[in-house]
Structure 1
Amino acid sequence: MSESGVGKDGVHGARPGREAQVGAGLPRPDGERRGRRGRRGRRGEKAMVPEAEFTSYYGRPVLKPPVWKANDVAAYLFLGGLAGAGSVLAAGAQLTGRPAAARALKISSLAAILGSTAALIHDLGRPERFANMLRVMKPTSPMSMGSWLLAAYGPAVGGAAVLDVTGLFPRLGGAATAGAAALGPAVTTYTAVLVADTAVPAWHEVHRELPFVFAGSATAAASGMALVAAPVRETGPMRTAAVCGAALELAASMAMEHRAGLVAEPYREGKAGRLVRAGEILSAAGAAGGALLGGRSRAAAVLSGTALLAGSACTRFGIFHAGVRSAQDPKYTIVPQRERVNARGTKATT
């Protein structure tokens, strides 16, 4: 038992070092606190408590996985890209005196954008929901701007195709072709911005590279459509575009998987991994076949174009499934967040 006590004459029997210290436990000045941390770091001390493993409630996803239907939304991504890139190539074909290729691309772009819009509306459930998105214009919302973009692009590409086929009002048809080509790049890539603006890890973490993947994939697909539908004598520029598009798609995909780190796993494993690899192989084979044989044989051109179209579709479906899988597994959400927090802490102490 302690023999110290307090009497009329004060404290007696107190042991040294037991007095209360004024200011003890209060935060130290920033410089002193950094100095102590630095000295511990120089001595090489290690934390005695291991870093906690991430977990979630009964292993359930941290994020709510997308409820979009693969057959609707992935098709919407593919067909929209095909339409936008096709309009750009159609304008180029018309300017360079390739009327059959220009007409084929205009018709395919109209069919693709109609199919893309139908897939989007089917996923929304009711047609009026698409119309309701046009009630406001919000520049910070990719969905809002995408809706207005489709509303402007649809009449332009429709006018370009119909007036070309009928031969009516050639000047108006030329203006519609130019308008569709001007909006085509945005139609091709805005869907990449749309999915990357979500919290889905496999989409959000690659927001820098995803538009380039979509642009390259769409260019390869539109070039493939020209190889399938246009005469061989008019497809020279499209074969070059196919090579450039496939190269851009493959390079951007490699950069995307390299920078994403752990979050790139869904792009290499499971159903998504198989689709992405198939897309890369088909795109490379289609581009090579078109460049080497597409100008000599009609059959080779059709086969190469079909491979390019199939490769682009596989890429879009693979990206969609990779996003869904990354949202279902909590590690793809928590581990990157922890790495960012640790990186900020490291910068703050240096």
Structure 2
Amino acid sequence: MSPHRPPVGDRFRRFLGRLDGTGRPGEVPAGPGEEFGAGSGPGTPHTAAGGRTPDQPRSTAPVERRRRGGGRRGGGEQLTVPPAEFTSYYGRPVLKPPVWKWDIAAYLFTGGLAAGSSLLAAGGQLTGRPALRRAGRIASLAAVSASAYFLVNDLGRPGRFHHMLRVAKLISPMSVGTWILTAFGPAAGIAAIAEAAPWLPERGVLGLGRRLLPPVGQAAGLVAAATAPALATYTGVLLAGTAVPSWHEAYPELPIIFGGSALASGAGVGLLAAPRDQAGPARRMAVAGAALELWGSHRVEHRLGLLSEPYRTGTPGRLLRAGRVLTAAGVAGALVGRRSRVLSGLSGVALLAASVATRFGIFHGGVASARDPKYTVVPQRERLRRREAERRTVEG
């Protein structure tokens, strides 16, 4: 045994003393390489995890060293990283907000107006109310023409609309909606042109058109009315099929809101353009459409939890509240003002304005939910927690 190295037993006891903090002052550490820690040598103090140096007083608390993973030796779990918040990378949105502009919101309104007006025209046709039928057909043609303009304006080039007709995908709301609009537009146009038949001469080629247009217009009007419910509601399915949080979560309500808004706007046309004695179907449409629209709006503002917040605050909240007030005022005026032509007309204007406010409110609410990352991250975490709880319930 080398005369410079203490006995093995003494070194081992010294090592244990340093581990449990009972090393005595004045003890000389072993030579190079004997203790853990690179670069140790004679006269160099050494510590172990949780121990003291030989010259450290006993009253001094041991130095705590964190283990890899955030815990302490002999202690419980201790987090070294704070819990993650719902903010995204540098506060940027998790989803890209929709690139749609105001023209798509206007397209939502004009499409519903075209559908509701065609249903109004069919009601006037079947019940023998020519003024109601004429107002509905003309409004339907004007609205569907505006819809085509807004859609093409958003696409950028008219040829893109034609390219969308090359395929038909039943699982794509955009593809189905394109075909619905293509079927509805010509039927609504023929029905509206048929209203010009009394202005044609009675003889000659134009006279033949005068005799043929009314029955053809009746058939076209019924075809347009048959496709009107799909035209009124497919835009709600289209929005709900996106990844925008407040649109996607409201998939049961959006078609109902848009369908009710379409009926209310069509009723507004009838109350505004038809005489009092022919406006009965328009009043009934106003009541039915207002009930659906108000029920759906209430649901999206209260059923979705955190995702209802964009529909209650900011510009979307103001628009939807204005839509509710105008809808209620329009229905009340339609029921009370049966004998007042002026009050019926004001009720029609209120219903049309309510439809505009509702469509734009739903549109802007979805855009606002896509811009704020919390509307994406927080609901995802809640769904994960529910699934974990359900899994534990099943396994437990």
Matched residue, 1:107: 138
Does the 8 Å contact 1:243/1:288 carry over to 2? no
Aligned match for 1:181, one of 225, 236, 240: 225
Q: Give the aligned partner of residue 112 of structure 2.
A: 81
For 1:215 and 1:109, how far apart are their aligned partners in 2? 15
Aligned pair 1:224/2:268, yes or no? Answer: yes
Q: 1:252 deviation in Å?
A: 1.3
Contact 1:188–1:214 (Cα < 8 Å) also in 2: yes
Which string of whole-angstrom CA distances, capped at 9 and with x for unpartnered residues, describes residues 31-61 of structure 1?
xxxxxxxxxxxxxxxx986753212111000
- Partner residue in 2 for 1:41: none
CA distance in 1: counterparts of 2:133 and 2:181, whole angstroms: 21
2:218 & 2:266 partners in 1: Cα distance? 20
Which segments of 5 or more consecutive residues in structure 2 lack a partner in the other structure?
A: 1-10, 14-76, 199-209
Matching residue within 348, 371, 376 for 1:333: 376
**For 1:172, which of 216, 227, 230 is the aligned residue?**
216
SS in 2 for 1:61: coil
Distance in 1 (CA, whole Å) between partners of 2:229 and 2:12 is 83
- Paired with 2:89 and 2:192, the residues of 1 have a C-alpha distance of 54
Counterparts in 2 of 1:280-319, with a 5 A limit? 280-293=324-337, 295-319=338-362
Measured against aligned partners, the alpha-carbon deviations of 1:125-169 in whole angstroms (never above 9, x if no partner) come to 111111111111111100011111111110011111111332542
- Residues 1:214 and 2:258 are matched in the alignment: yes
Is 1:60 the counterpart of 2:92 in the alignment? Answer: yes
Q: Cα RMSD over matched residues?
A: 1.7
Structure 1 counterpart of 2:88, one-letter code: S
Give yes or no for contact 1:94–1:102 (8 Å, CA) kept in 2: yes
Distance 1:2 1:99, change over 3 A: farther
Q: CA deviation at 1:2?
A: 7.1
Structure 1 partner of 2:3: none
After superposition, the C-alpha distances for 1:218-275 in whole angstroms (9 at most, x for unaligned) are: 1111101111111111001211210121111111111222221101111111111111
- Corresponding residue number in structure 2 for 1:194: 238
Residue 123 of structure 1 and its aligned partner are, at CA, apart by: 1.2
What TM-score results when the alignment is normalised by the length of structure 2? Answer: 0.75
For 1:121 and 1:319, the matched residues in 2 are separated by: 22
Alpha-carbon distance between aligned partners in 1 of 2:216 and 2:101, rounded to the nearest angstrom: 38
SS in 2 for 1:135: coil
CA contact (8 A) 2:300 2:311 kept: no
The equivalent residue for 1:7 is: none
**Larger relative contact order (Cα-Cα within 8 Å, sequence gap ≥ 6):** 1
Matches within 5 A, 1:1-350: 52-70=84-102, 72-167=103-198, 168=210, 169=212, 170-293=214-337, 295-350=338-393
Given that residues 119 and 266 in structure 2 are in contact (C-alpha distance below 8 angstroms), is that contact kept between their aligned partners in structure 1? no
Query: Structure 1 stretches of 5 or more lacking a match?
Result: 4-46
Select the structure of larger CA radius of gyration.
2
**Aligned partner letter, 1:89:** L
1:174 CA displacement? 1.3
Superimposed CA distance per residue, residues 42-90 of structure 1 (whole angstroms, 9 cap, x where no aligned partner): xxxxx986753212111000000111111x0011000000111211121
Aligned residues: 306
Q: Alignment identity in percent? A: 59
Q: What is the CA–CA distance in structure 2 between the aligned matches of 1:126 and 1:113, rounded to whole Å?
A: 18
When normalised by structure 1's length, the TM-score is 0.84
Greater share of residues in helix: 1
Residue in 2 that maps onto 1:30? none
What CA distance in whole angstroms lies between the structure 2 residues aligned with 1:91 and 1:123? 31
1:61 is matched by which residue type in structure 2? P
Conserved in 2, the CA contact under 8 Å of 1:240 and 1:291? no
Tell me which residue corresponds to 1:8: none
